[in-house]
């Protein structure tokens, strides 16, 4: 049965932002499914190919009370949604210098290996992204 809350968003691009620090990815529980997922996600009616960087910054700024960093999201990859082949997902990385720069209720840092080993606990999006996010988290860890 289709979720009526998501019906208006069908086939709309999604911007997802993955906070990373110390080689780990920050996740929070989703209230509708209780699976862990990235804390920053938004459907957009705007064509992200033209303005995705601006939209990613706006999305991050909406949560300025939970995110205390001077860093900005960086585009990582565009892929097809695991739920709908017509839906595009724009994945961004938000590098953090210290884990205490982000704080959402019940949020925590996990490794890509933890996501792979316990995939039933994580959203299908995060399962699909885990390999890429793991590499990106490690790269930022080495870079910073």
β-pairing, 40-43 vs 74-80, is unpaired
Is the Cβ–Cβ distance between 39 and 104 less than 8 Å? yes
Model confidence over 112-144: pLDDT tens digits? 999 999 989 999 889 988 888 888 878 876 765
Q: In the prediction, which pLDDT does 48 show? A: 56
Domain borders along the chain are 11-143
Backbone φ, ψ for residue 11 (5° rounding): 70, 10
β-pairing, 24-29 vs 14-21, is antiparallel
Mean pLDDT on 92-96? 93
Is the Cβ–Cβ distance between 16 and 43 less than 8 Å? no
Average of per-residue pLDDT values in the chain: 84
Superfamily (CATH H level) for 11-143? Nucleoside Triphosphate Pyrophosphohydrolase (3.90.79.10)
How far apart CA 53 and CA 121 sit, in angstroms, is 30
pLDDT band at 77 (very low <50, low <70, confident <90, very high): confident
Buried b (16+ CB within 10 A) or exposed e, 119-144: eebbbebbbbbbebbbebbbebeeee
Q: What SS3 string covers 40-52?
A: EEEECCCCHHHHH
pLDDT band at 6 (very low <50, low <70, confident <90, very high): very low
3-class SS of residue 24: strand
């Amino acid at each position: 049965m289709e979720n009526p809350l998501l019906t208006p968003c069908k086939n709309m691009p999604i911007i997802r932002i993955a906070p990373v620090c110390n080689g780990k990815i920050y996740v929070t529980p989703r209230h509708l499914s209780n699976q862990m997922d990235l804390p920053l996600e938004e459907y957009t009616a705007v064509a992200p190919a033209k303005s995705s960087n601006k939209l990613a910054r706006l999305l991050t700024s909406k949560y300025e009370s939970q995110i205390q960093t001077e860093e900005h999201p960086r585009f990582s990859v565009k892929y097809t949604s695991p739920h709908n082949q017509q839906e595009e997902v724009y994945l961004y990385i938000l590098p953090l210098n210290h884990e205490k720069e982000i704080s959402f209720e019940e949020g925590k840092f996990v490794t890509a290996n933890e996501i792979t080993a316990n995939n039933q606990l994580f959203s299908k999006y995060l399962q699909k992204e885990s390999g890429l996010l793991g590499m990106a988290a490690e790269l930022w860890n080495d870079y910073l």
